[in-house]
Amino acid sequence: MAATIEARGLRKHYGATVAVDDLSFTAEPGEVTGFVGPNGAGKSTTMRMILGLDAPDRGEALIGGHPYRTLRNPLCEVGALLDASAIHPGRRAHDHLLWMAHYNGLPKSRVGQVIEQVGLGSAARRRAGGYSLGMRQRLGIAAALLGDPPVLMFDEPVNGLDPEGIRWIRGLLRSLAAEGRTVFVSSHLMGELEGTADHLLVVGRGRLIADTTVRELLARASGEQIVLRTPARSEAMTLLANAGATVAATDRDTITVRGIAPDRIAAVLSAGGLTFSELSQHRATLEEAYMELTRDEVEFNAPTVGGTR
């Protein structure tokens, strides 16, 4: 059974801080939806509201069309990893999952299945207090998968993991989406979602600033910018600025040019007697596209060296 996650006009404030401000979006089955934004953007607060752990001031959040609190068997409708350290250190992973299964009326056989699925097999009888961060993440994910739910939500699941752990989580997210599940994953680093997310929701200061696909976001960030490589960098910058372009030096002999077309750039340079060795469309990385979107949205923006941007 497929199910969406929907937020409709969600708002939440804590004292004078508006953590989430009129947020609306839909996450669809069969896709990994990346929920990205700088620290303090409101990601965890939004996820807590979707999961019924915090009440919105306004708006509503729905899983498969229903508020979390009205779900009859929540573990079978949505699995979530919010805080991997939430398990008691004296508890063994196997017993923890067995207790969850029992409490939620799930067959015992699910425990062994999810332990295998997350690769915790040999460690499942050890106490969680001795687990590494990566093992605790795996246990949290096993708990989320226990009810075989169509919707999965993970809050910063790769935070602090080694490259092998990151690769494993990425593969898992993709395979869960390929099974037709709705996979919702938050991160404050866009690069972490490269090659994993299909759909991106970018938030800043509690507001939605982009609801897009990875492909569209890259195309938008790459468009219009031309990379020019020339030995006469400063002369070229002057000529192009006089011709109405916006220019910025990016390297010893490289300039990015906006606002005029490549054939016009070539014509201006040739009229000025300048040569160039490259004139190409700029290809933005996902991280660059994200930085551009969120530049003004960072809660605590560190001043740049020299006070200029």
Ligand X SMILES: Nc1ncnc2c1ncn2[C@@H]1O[C@H](COP(=O)(O)OP(=O)(O)OP(=O)(O)O)[C@@H](O)[C@H]1O
3-state SS, residue 50: helix
Length of the chain, in residues? 309
229 binds ligand X, rule: CB under 6 A:
no
Pick from 29, 37, 56, 147 the residue near ligand X by CB under 6 A.
37
The first and second tokens of residue 44, run together, are: 């965890």
207 binds ligand X, rule: CB under 6 A:
no
Site for ligand X in 44-83 (CB under 6 A): 44-45
33 binds ligand X, rule: CB under 6 A:
no
Cα distances (angstroms) measured from residue 286 to each of 67, 222, 296: 33, 10, 17
Handedness of CA 118, 121, 125, 129 (dihedral sign): negative
Q: How far is the CB of 10 from ligand X (least distance, A)?
A: 11
Cβ-based burial of 279 (10 A; exposed 0-12, middle 13-18, buried ≥19): middle
Pick from 29, 34, 40, 147 the residue near ligand X by CB under 6 A.
40
Round to whole Å and give the CA distance between 293 and 296.
8
Q: Which stretch binds ligand X (CB under 6 A): 38-46, 71-79, 98-106, 274-282?
A: 38-46
Pick from 8, 174, 188, 220 the residue near ligand X by CB under 6 A.
188
Q: Which stretch binds ligand X (CB under 6 A): 1-9, 12-20, 81-89, 214-222?
A: 12-20
Q: How far is the CB of 199 from ligand X (least distance, A)?
A: 18
Taking the least distance from each CB to ligand X, the nearer of 37 and 165 is: 37
Asked if 189 contacts 283 with a C-beta cutoff of 8 angstroms, the reply is: no
**Amino acid, res. 277:** S
* Interaction site with ligand X (CB under 6 A): 14, 17, 19, 37, 39-45, 188, 299
